[in-house]
Amino acid sequence: MSTDDTTDASTDTESNCGASSTDDDSAATCGASGDSSSSGSGCGGSDSTTDEKVGATVDDFDADPGRLVAVGLGPGQPEGMTQRARGALLDAEHIVGYTTYVDLLPAEITESAEELYDTPMCGEVSRTEEAIDRALAGNDVAIIGSGDPNVYALAGLALEILESKGGTASAVDFEVVPGVPAAQSCGARLGAPLVNDTVSVSLSDHLTPMETIESRLHAVADEGFTIAVYNPWSRKRRENFQRCCEILLDHRDPDTPVGIVHGAGREDESVEIVTLGELEDLGETDLIDMTTTILVGNEDTYVWDDRMVTPRGYESKYDY
């Protein structure tokens, strides 16, 4: 089945999950009471709310449970996917994911799947529950995401929803198939910025209050970590990015090297190395958006031959 065949799957009026009983609230998304569009208007904002909530429970399914696998696609291009991830997707009967990620799948995978189900941005809860319900109905299901399922992704949400339904991870043989996270993909494009202690911080305040994000930024910026900044910019998060730059400059030299990778592994990939003092001015450019990952060097990071280098410490113990 091709991706085009299922573009409108998320607006279908009937569920294909196989639940033994349905109601009007859950028919569209296999037990999810809210359509994925219910949270669309406020996606990414800290004050947004959603009507999405768990619908069907394990008692609504007559079949023996199938299998649920959370698969990380890596940076986006087919060659960036691990062989294990490729094999898991070729084995899956149903593949569920954000529309953009489904579109990244190579044809051999989309053509081998019995069904593809995709939702637009902000349909995280409904599509994760869709994947779970399809697995509870006896299907072998893969829910996909870019990067790694455990890095700002849906592996944890899947387990939380499964638990709320009265199910268990072992009942659906739940497994996580890791992928290359964005920080590592972007680090590889920049040279060697992440070879010492590193932390990651997301600037999205959709699920984490900005006060908490600011506190975490102060804590890590004051230490010798290199910092991977995820979700740096959107129309609703301009102030978050600006505040991030201000906090980093409170603790680090303006000349600190910063690597910026937009769209890693995709057709519009762009890579630049700037200084921390220049970072905030780039917020209004096409270089920084939701597909961008920013890597902030520590006090030892330097730029050599257009590559960022963060020493591991070998120079203090060895002569070379």
Whether the predicted pLDDT of 54 surpasses 90: no
The CA–CA distances, whole Å, from 97 to 45, 248, 280, 295 equal 22, 34, 33, 27
Whether the predicted pLDDT of 47 surpasses 80: no
List pLDDT tens digits, range 152-167.
Answer: 999 999 999 999 999 9
State the average pLDDT for the chain.
85
Query: Would you give the end-to-end CA distance of the chain in angstroms?
Result: 56
The CA–CA distances, whole Å, from 133 to 12, 27, 52, 140 equal 16, 12, 15, 11
What angle is formed at CA 184 by the lines to CA 82 and CA 111, rounded to 5 degrees?
Answer: 30
In sequence order, the 6+-apart residues with CB closer than 8 A to the CB of 157 are 124, 125, 128
Whole-structure pTM value: 0.81
Supply the pLDDT for residue 170.
96
Helices (H), the chain: 83-91, 99-104, 107-112, 124-136, 155-164, 182-190, 210-221, 238-251, 276-279
Whether the predicted pLDDT of 31 surpasses 60: no
Determine the Cα–Cα distance for residues 152 and 155; give it in Å rounded to an integer: 9
Whether the predicted pLDDT of 185 surpasses 90: yes
List pLDDT tens digits, range 259-315.
Answer: 999 998 888 899 999 999 999 999 989 999 989 999 999 999 999 999 999 999 878
Tell me which amino acid residue 16 is: N
Q: Any idea which of 44-58, 106-120, 282-296 has the lowest mean pLDDT? A: 44-58
Sheet of strand 175-177, all strands in order from the earlier edge strand to the far edge: 115-119, 94-98, 140-145, 67-72, 175-177
Mean pLDDT to the nearest integer, 68-91: 94
Instruction: Name the band, by pLDDT with cuts 50, 70 and 90, for residue 55.
Output: low
Mean pLDDT to the nearest integer, 2-25: 37
Supply the pLDDT for residue 27.
35
Paired residues of 68 in beta bridges:
141
